[in-house]
Chains A and B, each alone.
Chain A
Amino acid sequence: MSLRKIFTLYTVSFLVVTVLLGIAEKAFGLPNRWIGWIFMGLSLGIYIVIGIVTRTSVADQYYVAGRNVPAIYNGMATGSDWMSAASFISMAGSLYALGFAGLAYVMGWTGGYLLLAVLLGPYLRRFGAYTIPDFLGARYGGNAARIVGVVAAITCSFTYLIAQVTGVGLIVSRFIGLDFKVGCFVGLIGVLFCSVLGGMRSVTWTQVAQYIILITSYLVPVVVLSWRIFSVPVPELMYGKLLQRNSARAVEITRDPQEKATRAIWQTQADELAAKLKAGDFAAGEKEKLTADQKLAAQQAKAPAASEEAKVSNYLAVPTGNKMWNFLALTFCLMVGTAGLPHILTRYYTTPSVRQARTSVAWSLFFIFLLYFTAPAYAAFARYEVYDKLVGTRVADLPRWVTLWKPAGLFDVVDKLKDGVVQFADFAIKSTDFIVLATPEIAKLPFVITGLVMAGGLAAALSTADGLLLTIANAISHDLYYKVIDPKASLVKRLAITKALLVITALIAAFVATFKLAIIVELVAWAFSLAAASFFPALVLGIWWKRANRPGALAGMLLGFLLTLYYMIGSRFFGVSWFGTATIASGVFGIPLGFLAIWLVSLATKAPPIDVQTFVTNIRYPESGKRVAPPTFGRKDPAMGGAEPSAI
């Protein structure tokens, strides 16, 4: 069967199952818990089946999916590899909270693909290695560059991986009521089946399947909501009207006397809690709760516009001064980080040709764009719902979605004035994740769509976890073990090591995730700056400047990495501040330093050998007749391991 047929059939069956479940819900009152279980079981089942069907023990298949993934499918796989639990569940929420300033994420996580497209992707494909440290090792020679690459790849990918596992745990516990810790381990089954059995090959095709679920479930609720409000099913076009309206409401709320009174109560509470915290006047173990309460009270005490005279809400206000600097710096770090994350870069090794690598980046961004283009609409619709539908209702008569989601603990409605009416400040938000989760209810859709959203979030987390896990395992088994420690190791041995590492890494990640450390979310953002400062300069100059040599690359990677790490830890914990730059944008110093160090040190030391220089010139021009044949999934598939002994 052709790929197109397989995936069309898959999409149609998935939609049919969703509709059938919807009918079962309406006709027989299928309980919500069951719908959750069915969606989770079904989607995990699909991923496991794909893992089994595409299992392989051939090196080229295992590491780079045989380099025969057509551009459009690689685009979808990159899309779900890229969009994590955070993009799917939390980004719309961040936009809700941050307004314009949050758009740094939207631009940063898309604009980076241009850098990837024109500076890296096609050339990495032309070079045709297995991993990113592989490229560094070959381009700069010797093991040092490779090892620095391995360390940086593991550092960036591992923190990111923990966040994905945490995401899986949260989704599973929220929708089907399993314990969070159990949820973390349940997710592993879905991830391990693919990556262990078929490496990159299985992960690629699973990611394509996951992308389809992810994007469908993200778009459906908000499209229906747009239809309900405007009778136009294009939320991206319609939310502009809401922005203006929301802004006007925010100004009204800022001036409203009842609202002012409510905010004053929160402010008093925030001050009291702050004083209590400062005095150390609390029992041991209470500190965390008090800090959270204080933060919540302070947040609720803030008006949605800067002052009573303000013409627009904070949501639309463009940051100025230092805040603008941080906005630009963050956008820059996220963009460069996007083009420097190894699990994304390796995806462009898997296309059949350089020209398909180029086309593939275009498809990747298009598929990612579909979600990021829609996320601000989610945020605007949610604001509208809160400003226009929730504020002013009686506490005894809350909208349905509020009553349904209140027990989940993401928000609360506290009648501070005890007047029986909901003020804006009465709506206490603990986690803005409620926006994506509750939108199906807001749009008055049946629970089956909420189940679909769960499957989408799960797909987003699992697909990213797959890519990261493979990057870590390959960095250790291929780059560290095979290339450095034992270059004579047989393929069977190498694959066995990779598989063992996949299981071990996944277990460690799940174990760490069960602690639910608060720092994890922050660490993910750090991964971008670290990847940006360590990989990006060495890769770009390695491709674009033949004079770049080993000492230069080492100096650039190490200095970029260390400076970024220094500023991160310094600004987060020890009050270091350069130009008032936020911790999250730490890479803004490390990236230029990385480039500068490679340039200066390379010029001060000997030029790289002439064959390396020729090699750098040659990757500029694609080769004729180098296309790899498209994949087949029949019995006679050579990828199943005809020539090589199976290690499964």
Chain B
Amino acid sequence: MSEHLTAEQKREYWAYNLRLVTILLVIWFVTAYLISGLFAGALNRYTFLGFPLGYYMAAQGSLIIFVIEIAVYARLMNKKDLEYGIREEG
């Protein structure tokens, strides 16, 4: 158990996690449902790498963003663990 953490540290750790998760989910929502969904039609007027932009975002852009988001989450949370002295790896 992570008993060595004080109540204050636990609160901070969790608040950090909540903030991170909220930001990631907002980006996720905007990417998938607004940019690649509702506004894709409007974006299709522009082109990117030869793709209509709306199509590009739904077929590739959003996927790339999802991959980056999860990688960022894993990296930041794993770093946070070490900062708080949680060392599963021993």
C-alpha spacing A355/B44, complex, angstroms: 40
Interface string of A222-256 (1 = CB under 8 A from B): 00000000000000110011011000000000000
Shortest Cβ distance from A534 into chain B, in angstroms? 22
Interface string of B60-88 (1 = CB under 8 A from A): 10111011011101100110010001111
Residues of B within 8 A of A312 (CB): 44, 52
Residues of B within 8 A of A237 (CB): 49
C-alpha spacing A618/B63, complex, angstroms: 33
Shortest Cβ distance from B22 into chain A, in angstroms? 9
Residues of A within 8 A of B17 (CB): 620
Residues of A within 8 A of B81 (CB): 354-355, 622
CB-CB under 8 A for A331 and B63, given A237-B49, A316-B44, A622-B81: no
Is the pair A627, B90 in contact by a Cβ cutoff of 8 Å? Answer: yes
Shortest Cβ distance from A339 into chain B, in angstroms? 12
Tell me whether A328 is interfacial, beta carbon within 8 Å.
Answer: yes
Q: How large is the interface on B (under 10, 10 to 19, 20 to 34, 35 or more residues)?
A: 35 or more
Tell me whether A359 is interfacial, beta carbon within 8 Å.
Answer: yes
Is the pair B66, A113 in contact by a Cβ cutoff of 8 Å? Answer: yes
Is the pair B88, A107 in contact by a Cβ cutoff of 8 Å? Answer: no
Is the pair A369, B88 in contact by a Cβ cutoff of 8 Å? Answer: no
Inter-chain residue pair count (beta carbon < 8 A): 154
Number of A residues, CB within 8 Å of B:
51
Is the pair B25, A114 in contact by a Cβ cutoff of 8 Å? Answer: yes
Q: Which chain B residues have a beta carbon within 8 Å of chain A's beta carbons?
A: 1-2, 4-5, 10, 13-14, 17, 20-21, 24-25, 28, 32-33, 36-38, 40-41, 44, 47-52, 54-56, 58-60, 62-64, 66-67, 69-71, 73-74, 77-78, 81, 85-90
Q: A114-B69, A240-B56, A624-B87 are in contact. List 18 more A-B contacts (CB 8 A).
A: A100-B55, A111-B62, A114-B24, A114-B28, A117-B73, A118-B25, A312-B44, A312-B52, A316-B44, A318-B41, A331-B32, A355-B81, A362-B73, A365-B67, A369-B67, A373-B63, A621-B86, A627-B89
Chosen A-B contacts, 30 in total, with CB atoms closer than 8 Å, are A110-B67, A115-B28, A117-B73, A243-B50, A244-B50, A244-B52, A312-B44, A318-B41, A320-B41, A324-B37, A355-B77, A355-B78, A355-B88, A355-B89, A358-B73, A358-B77, A358-B78, A359-B78, A365-B67, A369-B63, A373-B63, A618-B2, A620-B14, A621-B10, A622-B88, A624-B2, A624-B4, A624-B87, A624-B88, A625-B88
Q: Closest 9 CB pairs between A and B? A: A240-B50, A240-B51, A318-B41, A358-B74, A353-B88, A103-B58, A621-B2, A362-B70, A241-B50
